[in-house]
Amino acid sequence: MSSPAPALQPSPVPAAFARLGIHYGWVVAFVTFLTMLVTAGAVGTPGILIGPLQQEFGWSTSAISSAFAIRLVLFGFMGPFAAAFMNRFGVRRVAVVALSLIFAGVLGSFAMTQLWQLVLLWGFVVGFGTGLTAMVLGATVATRWFVARRGLVIGLLTASTATGQLVFLPLLAELTQTLGWRSALTVVLVLLGVAALIVLALMRDRPSDVGLAPFGAPAGTVPAAPAGPASLSAMLASPLLALRDAARTRIFWMLFGTFFVCGASTNGLVQTHFVSLCGDFGLAPVAAAGMLAVIGVFDFAGTVGSGWLSDRFDSRTLLFWYYGLRGLSLIYLPFTSFSFYELSVFAVFYGLDWVATVPPTVKLTADRFGERANLVFGWVFAGHQMGAAFAAWGAGFTRTAYDTYLPAFFFAGVLCVAAALAIIALREPRVPAPAAA
């Protein structure tokens, strides 16, 4: 643990906010929220691209889903290395590089004509970019800049990820239907550019960079930044070493497995295939995207509330209810007639639980793994995205092979119920593991 350094004079911009009674940590949290919101919108865009790409290029649902599944895998597996990059190069630089990569991938889509180009641009380029701004970014900012209200901040930043994936979809779906999918991607490019400019102007890496203590820390001292890995090779090895040590514990595999189910029942399934599923039952893409927006609105409330609850209640109990209720909602959906009323009930019920699992999962990881928590959570999040990729591909295969998505939704619901039963058997960690030397 680094020893406190003497207090510094706050930099001009943070000092200006301080005169307004605003700690600069909230400014950084806002910039992070915006970055994750916009990049999450890019992650959610494939949900409205499947139909148009089929019509224009004749690609099958299975082939398109495979490209998007690669993006989801990279979105997850970049997490541990993104944490290492942030520790060495800083949050600001990593965020700008990530936004630039996503911008390049989306821009290249305007010229694609072959399936391999979709795989390259949306599978690898966008996958790498979004992976650098995954949930690890929010966890890193929350732990660096906040001592008090940390659970609330994690909830807010987590909500931005899921909400961004869903709230932009009605606008993008409307543009796709009226002007074509390239017009929708133009909006995504503009949002990415604006976010990059705001990051350059306002994002800072640590409170010590601007002469402040974290929000809620004792006034008068500024924690010094811990020394990073001595070399680039050590930096790249640090996530692997964290995985080696974490993989020896039962709690890691329990968190990894339940987060696999979380990804399979959210990003990979509903985010990617819900619009197409509703289309099979005669619901227009704009209306289906509107339902996803409702899910996003209720998700925001549910995830922020989960952050508040995770500071006050046993994380295992919260996760039991979250996974159990999500599973029941997914099992319910295939038995509906896909009427407006029944879909609205599903959207509200499911939306409150979309990523409410994240704050208690982060808390369990932090309690067990201490200062290595962001690296270990990166690997847990990789499990989330493996589940998402599995569901994105699996649902596409089901639709192609059996002409229906419904078995995939029912199976995801059963997995959620199994995860609920598994997590309740987990012992609550009481003593954090020693930090890395």
Confirm if 73 and 391 have CB atoms less than 8 A apart.
no
Q: Domain range holding 366? A: 8-211+231-423
Question: Residue-wise over 127-136: b if at least 16 C-beta within 10 A, else e?
Answer: bbbbbbbbbb
Residue 219, pLDDT score: 62
Confirm if 252 and 380 have CB atoms less than 8 A apart.
yes
Question: Residue-wise over 298-311: b if at least 16 C-beta within 10 A, else e?
Answer: bbbebbbbbbebbe
Residue 134, helix vs strand vs coil:
coil
Closest Cα partner for 144 from 91, 184, 78, 99? 91
- Listed in sequence order, the DSSP H helices in 149-271 are 150-167, 169-179, 181-202, 232-246, 250-264
Residue 328, pLDDT score: 92
pLDDT at 399 over 50: yes
Residue 431 in any domain: the answer is: no
Kindly give, in sequence order, each residue whose CB lies less than 8 Å from that of residue 358, ignoring residues fewer than 6 positions away: 135, 154, 155, 158, 303, 306
Residue 434 in any domain: the answer is: no
Residue 364 in any domain: the answer is: yes
Residue 1 in any domain: the answer is: no
| Average pLDDT in the chain | 82
Q: Tally the domains of the chain.
A: 1
Going by pLDDT thresholds of 50, 70 and 90, the confidence category of residue 195 is very high
Over range 122-132, report the average pLDDT: 87
**Number of CB atoms found within 10 A of residue 250's CB:** 9
Which of 110-114, 396-400, 431-435 bottoms out in mean pLDDT, i.e. has the lowest?
431-435
Residue 64, pLDDT score: 83
Question: Residue for token digits 């998007």?
Answer: 68
Over range 68-80, report the average pLDDT: 77
CA 145 to chain centre: 19
The whole-angstrom separation of Cα 341 and Cα 360 is 32
Residue 98, pLDDT score: 92
Going by pLDDT thresholds of 50, 70 and 90, the confidence category of residue 223 is low
Q: Which CATH number is 281's domain given?
A: 1.20.1250.20
The whole-angstrom separation of Cα 208 and Cα 276 is 48
Model pLDDT for residues 312-321, shown as the tens digit of each residue: 888 889 999 9
Residue 109 in any domain: the answer is: yes
HSE (side-chain half, CA atoms, 13 Å) at 394: 20
Over range 42-67, report the average pLDDT: 80
Residue 218 in any domain: the answer is: no
Going by pLDDT thresholds of 50, 70 and 90, the confidence category of residue 213 is confident
- Of 242 and 224, the structure prediction assigns the larger pLDDT to 242
Over range 170-188, report the average pLDDT: 85
